[in-house]
Amino acid sequence: MSEPGSDESAEAPPTFPVLGNLAFAGALRASMDERCADGQNLALLLIECGVVGQIDATWGYHVGDAVRNRIAAALRAEVLRPGDLLGDLGRDDFACVLSPVDGPAVALLAAEKSLRALGNPFWIGEDEIYARPSIGIAMHPAHGDDADSLLQRAKSACAVARGETSHAAVYAEEQENPEASRLLYENRLRTAVSDDALEIAYQPQYDLRLGQIMGVESVLCWHGQAREPIPADDAFAAAESAGRVTDMLSSILNRALRNCSEFRYSAGLDLRIGVNVPGRALLHTELPDVIARALGTWGLRPGRLIIEVGETSVLVAEPAAQETLARLKEIGVKLSIDDPGLALSSLFWLAPLSFQEIKIDVTLARNLAGAPKSEHILKAMIELAHGLELEVVAVRVADEAAADKLKALGCDYMQGDYRGPALDAEGFVKRFGLDEG
């Protein structure tokens, strides 16, 4: 493709029709009426290019306009038939209407053609810029009998397509729209935080050396309207999107420390308590103050609180996160690495920081008795951690035999569902208040 910054690419807009929002909506309705009359199908392809806005911000709107003209020309020349429609829905969004069309298989072929047509680089000076399109497909009449519904469902499919390797998706009623889910999560999260309604369960942790319960990991248990569990990662993503990360963590901390205080005073359980914090939450510099206030409110010794940090890669890239970690260390809380995706090479970066503990998921080494290589790997990992002055917590331990083997290998602590699932505060007191029977 020609360089957008050249005289050729800055020429007047192409002569073939590219319809604006209102004109396109009217043309789409008229085309749907025709298909209703003859009983044939219509396909709407919504194409999100994902690059024009960045070009606008970097090189200016005149270059962005030139790139958009080239995208429209490529779609018209290489994908669309003379009677099909091409709509301009925004700086990065185009809509193609294939009418008539046999079915969704043909629409997917058109989407593949579109992705190929937009796969060549746009040259801006010496820079290669690639469009990163995602394409959502909605069919008429199967997916909607009016223009607004069809556009909304194509948009929903496009959101799904962004997570697909093919970068194209046909709308399906059961498919999840990540953007819609995030918006619903945000609204529900705001209410849950305001009402102090976040639910916490507690997974017991055992000291392998002493053979007794020594602490708990707090587990966020948040549910959708149908009581389906919402992963903690999605909850934190919603909190980030809503700008409520600190509020959410404050709510979780206060709920967890309040329950920990209740365990101590009403059940005689002086336990340490772990709270999971995504690594990116350390970018919020007010986090140490939030933690210090919660510890003061519930009278818990700082050393009994373990901040379990996931996504440790942020610590490498963001000095602000390292500074937050250092401030947490000054408060006196214990810091644990809880990152299942951690590469061993990352320990070069993490070793100088303030961590005192590392969690190791032993799921892949469950049959320790019959897998000597797994045993050697675990032994090496435990010895490495101890060499870095880190205590080791093995998680997802399968059974008592595995726990005994971990103890023999020198592992410090463990947690595993075989000793019982995570429990709410009331259930935890009933289970562990007097004894572990």
The reply to whether 330 falls in a domain is yes
Same-domain check for residues 277 and 421: yes
pLDDT in tens, 252-265: 999 999 999 888 88
pLDDT in tens, 180-193: 566 666 777 777 77
Same-domain check for residues 229 and 368: yes
The pair of structure tokens assigned to 108 is 């997917």
Residue 170, pLDDT > 60, answer yes
Cis peptide before 352 (omega within 30 of 0): no
Between residues 294 and 345, the one the model is more confident about: 294
CATH of the domain at 286: 3.20.20.450
Same-domain check for residues 288 and 305: yes
CA distance 31 to 23: 12
Per-chain mean pLDDT for the chain: 85
CA distance 234 to 225: 15
Last-in-domain residue among 175, 206, 235: 175
Same-domain check for residues 162 and 235: no
User: How does residue 9 score in pLDDT terms, banded at 50, 70 and 90?
Assistant: very low
The reply to whether 137 falls in a domain is yes
Give residue for tokens 């966020």.
220
Helix residue ranges, H only, 135-244: 147-161, 178-194, 232-242
Last-in-domain residue among 175, 209, 230: 175
Same-domain check for residues 341 and 193: yes
Same-domain check for residues 258 and 216: yes
Residue 413, pLDDT > 90, answer yes
Over range 238-244, report the average pLDDT: 79
Question: Model's pTM, two decimal places?
Answer: 0.61
How many angstroms separate the most distant Cα atoms in the chain? 82
Last-in-domain residue among 154, 175, 196: 175
Helices 147-161 and 178-194 pack at an angle, to 10 degrees, of 90
The reply to whether 194 falls in a domain is yes
Residue 409, pLDDT > 50, answer yes
Q: How many CB atoms lie within 10 A of CB 332?
A: 13
The reply to whether 167 falls in a domain is yes
Give every CB contact of residue 76 below 8 A, 6+ residues apart in sequence.
14, 16, 86
| Closest CA relative to residue 44, chosen from 136, 146, 174, 164 | 136
The type of residue at 351 is: A
CA distance 80 to 67: 19
The reply to whether 37 falls in a domain is yes
CA distance 20 to 171: 24
Query: Using the 8-state DSSP alphabet, how is residue 14 labeled?
Result: P
The reply to whether 13 falls in a domain is no
Residue 227, pLDDT > 90, answer no
The reply to whether 205 falls in a domain is yes
Same-domain check for residues 351 and 230: yes
Domain count, the chain: 2
CA distance 219 to 236: 13
The reply to whether 16 falls in a domain is no
| Closest CA relative to residue 220, chosen from 432, 429, 424 | 424
CA distance 341 to 109: 37
Report the phi/psi class of residue 325: left, alpha or beta, with left for phi > 0 and alpha for psi in -120 to 50: alpha
| Closest CA relative to residue 324, chosen from 357, 296, 350, 289 | 289
CA distance 160 to 111: 14
- Give the distance from CA 127 to its chain's centroid: 31
Domain holding 218, by residue range, is: 181-432
Same-domain check for residues 363 and 248: yes
Same-domain check for residues 263 and 200: yes
Same-domain check for residues 232 and 320: yes
Same-domain check for residues 157 and 186: no
